[in-house]
Each structure stands twice: as structure tokens, then as C-alpha cells.
Amino acid sequence: MSLPVTFDYDGHDATGLAALVASGTVTPDELLDEALARVEALNPSLNAVVLVQEDRAREAIRSGLPRGTFRGVPFLLKDLGAEAADFPSHSGSRLWRNQTWPADSAIVARLKAAGLVILGRTTAPEGGIGPATEAVVYGGPTRNPWDLGRTPGGSSGGAGAAVAAGIVPAAHGSDGGGSVRIPASNCGLFGLKPTRARLPDGPYAGEGWGGMAIDGYLTRSVRDTAALLDATEGADLGAPYWAPPLCKGYMAAIARPPARLRIGVCETTFTGRPVDPDCAEAVRDAARLLESLGHHVEPFRPDADHEGMIRAWVDIVACGTALWIRSAPKGRDPEGLVEPVSRGAMAHASSLSGEGYLAAIGRIHAYGRRMAAEFERIDVLLSPVMAEPPAEIGRFAHQSEDYLAYRLGEEGVWPYSPFCTAFNASGQPAASLPLHWTAGGLPVGVQLAARFGEDETLIALCREVEMARPWFHKRPPR
């Protein structure tokens, strides 16, 4: 069954679609029909949606959807984490192909309780290790709907491509070094990484990458992210640590603008290196907008050991990757199934001692304390999300076993994405806002980051910016 001709799927965010379901204007089955039709029409060029299970989605509707915030809205899980009993996963790797779980993870259970209709998963790089989504297990790269020769980013690249293309209005992602914010920037979307431990990791993990990884969402509106975070926030039973409690919640926070804030502006990297002119101009333009809204804006570059932080991050991620590989189902040979960069990460991890791993954790903690001290002078930091517009397909393919060069070399990930990891390391909330497009039509996001635990201040500011400079109707060409 097709949607009524008077219905505009693209004209509503997930919150708006849920309201139409609640009013009886459209049914969950009709929304699912439209999402599946778009997968069929758009996915051959994007390669963003995998492991589609229409039967599971139909059964969820027939069984009676919970009357949550998003009842009846089609939704996609990232093919990494988000363990679900009904939705097997490849985790971006041939090593983990079609892995199943006996029960839903806490975050998936909460997403289902919100009434979302999960229909499949979105592509991710192997183990979430890169800023592009080109895993061998999917048979080819995932492409950016704004320019099919460019990457949508990673590791939530499939989620970014699917939402930007209009397949679903919102999708699950995760962020251990920018993996929500990078696709948000590359795909012209909104993406917020919450404060460390704001969302549940269990029961299949205690923490990701030393506490630096956390789930999140790719959306076209701030209110969708706010409502999704409200539906899923809070530690799961037995979590090793908790985020500071919210005062009102995300949706309550966006009901009114925040108090006027001290906003620091950094248009270079945090180590002082220049970035692409479009990325710098995006920041300057956003600073002018924030100043016009009455905020106090001043130049600011956080004084912390950023180079030491990224080296520690690289060590921790290598160890996490090695553990992930060694935990694979029995009978599968990593040597023949994992990609070269992952093999390189495993080799690097083997060169580290237990003391070395704990030293890296200590450097990350020290960095967080230093960044907290720096944020005593400002409330929010404005910076680029990326040092360049979206990279061309193939630039960050996992073809080299030189893991350190891939991450830290002159042509590596760190020069391309030098901003996001800072806030995974410090645990602070940070968001990518789609405020700029290049002359060639490529999206370029700006990043706003707030103090640890100040998610409500951050999302209220993001909503104020969205209202002043709406982006919802900006769409890639079709």
C-alpha cells in the first residue's frame, strides 16, 4: 500500500510523523511501506542499509506497538553495537557476520518502548575504526547522497546517508571518536554526542573504548534528538558509572533558549593548525550568528595536551579492537576475515603492556581534567567538526596495516578529523550543526561543546541556533 498522495513524508521529522500516526492521518504500516520503497529506490546507489527484516517490522506492528513518543515511525539501527535479539549484525566485518544475541541490549529495548518500528541496520566500518564507511562485508563503499564520490563519514556512515537521503527521518548511531558528529557534518544533519555514560552500554558491554564511546542519533531536527535521548537516557542495571542526572530532560531544555552564554571560538585546530577555508568560514559565520543572538563571543583555543590525548586514544582503540577481534565467534580465523587496518591495530595492541594501557587511560583522564579547567573560562566552545569537507571515497579505505600511519600520519585520520576526539576523551557533550555548504554543495558542520554534564545547556543552544538558521528543508539532489 502506498501513502496518500497528500502526505509529505519528507516534510516531517520523526516527531511529526509520530503525531500523524497518533492522529490517524497515516498508519505505521504505511510509513513502513514508504521507508522500504525508499530503501529499494535509493540504497543501490548509497549502500547504506543492510540486513533489512520487513517481517520483523510487520510483526512488531501487528503485535501492538508501545504508545511511546515515536509510535509507528520507521527506524534503523547501526550495524555495530545496539545488540538486538531479532536483528543480527555483521559489526562491519566478515569476522562477525550474522552474529545474534539472546536478548535486546538496554538501548534497543528503550528504542522499542518508544514505539519505533525497526526495519534493519545501517553500514559501519569494520569495528567502527575509521571516519569512512567502506567495509568489505557490504560489498562496496557507502556513499554520500550529497555527492556519490564522497564518503558520508564514519563510523555511523550508513545512518548519516540513510537519514540525509530521506529513507528514515532518524537513525541510531554511536560515537567513540566523532562517529555521530562526522557523519552529521558530512551529510548535513544534526548529531549530538552526550556526556559520558548518559546512555546505557549493557548488558553486553561495560564501557566502550575506555568510556570514550557512547550511542547517539542522526536526525534532521534538534527536537528528534532531544526526544530520542529522553527515551533512552540513564544507566542500565549494574553500569560501572553514571552521568550527572539531568535537571529537566532534553525536551524540556529545548522549550526555551538558554541564558546568554560565554562562547569561545576556535577556527584553527586545537593545536593551532589552519583548516580548510570552508571549515573556518563556517565557524566565523556561526560566531556572528551566536553574537547576534546576544551571546558573548570571543576567540578561544583550549590549552591542553591534544597530541598526547590522541596518542593515548589511538592506543586504547587498538586494544579495544584487538579484544573485539579475539572475542569473535569460535571457528572464524581473524587473519583471513579482518581488514588490514584492523590487523594493524591488533599488532599495535600486542606491542603495549598492561601498564602501557593503564598509562593511556591515565593520560585520557588527565586530559579530561585539563579540559574541565579550560571550560571554567567559557560555557561553550565553537569549532569546526572537521578540518576539511567530506573526503573522497577510498581515501580512508582500510587497505594498509600501518595502523599508526592511518591514524596519525600526515594524510591520516587525525589531520582530517582533529576536533571530535577531544570530547570523547574528556566525556563532554558535543554536537554537530549543519550550518554551512561549500560552493560545490557539500555540507560542512560546526561543533558546539559544553561542560561535562551540561547536555541541557548544549541542546537548548542548538535549538536556538536551529530556530534562527533553519536547516530542515535542505536536501541532497536526487
* Cα–Cα dist 448/293, whole Å: 15
Q: Answer whether residue 316 is part of any domain.
A: yes
Helix (H, G, I), strand (E, B) or coil at 204: coil
DSSP string, 96-120: GTTB--SS--HHHHHHHHTT-EEEE
Residue numbers annotated as active site: 78, 155, 179
Q: Answer whether residue 7 is part of any domain.
A: no
Which residue range forms the structural domain that includes residue 192? 14-468
- pLDDT, residue 1, reads 40
Q: What is the mean pLDDT of residues 97-121?
A: 98
The residues with which 78 forms a beta bridge, in sequence order, are: 122
Say whether pLDDT at 4 is over 60.
no
Q: Answer whether residue 476 is part of any domain.
A: no
The angle, 0 to 180 degrees and rounded to 10, between the axes of the packed helices 14-23 and 222-232 is 80
Query: Residue 240: is the preceding peptide bond cis (ω within 30°)?
Result: no
* Cα–Cα dist 125/4, whole Å: 37
Q: Where are the alpha helices (DSSP H) in 114-263?
A: 157-164, 181-187, 222-232, 250-253
* Cα atoms found within 13 Å of the Cα of residue 109, Cβ hemisphere only: 13
Helix and strand counts by DSSP (H, E) for the chain = 17, 11
Q: What is the mean pLDDT of residues 122-146?
A: 97
Q: Answer whether residue 92 is part of any domain.
A: yes
Q: Answer whether residue 219 is part of any domain.
A: yes
C-alpha cell at 458: 548544549
Q: Answer whether residue 9 is part of any domain.
A: no
- pLDDT, residue 5, reads 44
| Band of pLDDT at residue 237, cut at 50, 70 and 90 | very high
Quote the strand ranges of 114-228, DSSP E: 117-122, 170-175, 190-193, 214-219
Q: Answer whether residue 78 is part of any domain.
A: yes
Helix then strand then coil, % of the chain, to nearest 5: 40, 15, 45
Question: pLDDT tens, 371-427?
Answer: 999 999 999 999 999 999 999 999 999 999 999 999 999 999 999 999 999 999 999
Q: Give, for 360, the enclosing helix (H) or strand (E).
A: helix 354-374
Average pLDDT in the chain: 97
Q: Answer whether residue 477 is part of any domain.
A: no
C-alpha cell at 422: 577531544
* Cα–Cα dist 148/27, whole Å: 33
The angle, 0 to 180 degrees and rounded to 10, between the axes of the packed helices 277-292 and 455-468 is 90
Neighbours of 216 (CB within 10 A): 28
Domain count, the chain: 1
Residues 6+ apart with CB under 8 A from 178: 131, 193, 385, 417, 419, 420, 421, 424
Q: Which of 2-16, 211-225, 277-291 has the lowest mean pLDDT?
A: 2-16
Largest CA distance in the chain: 63
Name which of 160, 215, 165, 220 is nearest 186 in CA terms. 160
Q: What is the sign of the dihedral through the CA atoms of 209, 266, 441 and 216?
A: positive
| pTM of the full structure | 0.98
Question: pLDDT tens, 348-359?
Answer: 999 999 999 999
Name which of 150, 170, 147 is nearest 73 in CA terms. 170
CATH number of the domain encompassing residue 249: 3.90.1300.10
- pLDDT, residue 6, reads 54
Question: pLDDT tens, 167-190?
Answer: 999 999 999 999 999 999 999 999
C-alpha cell at 212: 570514550
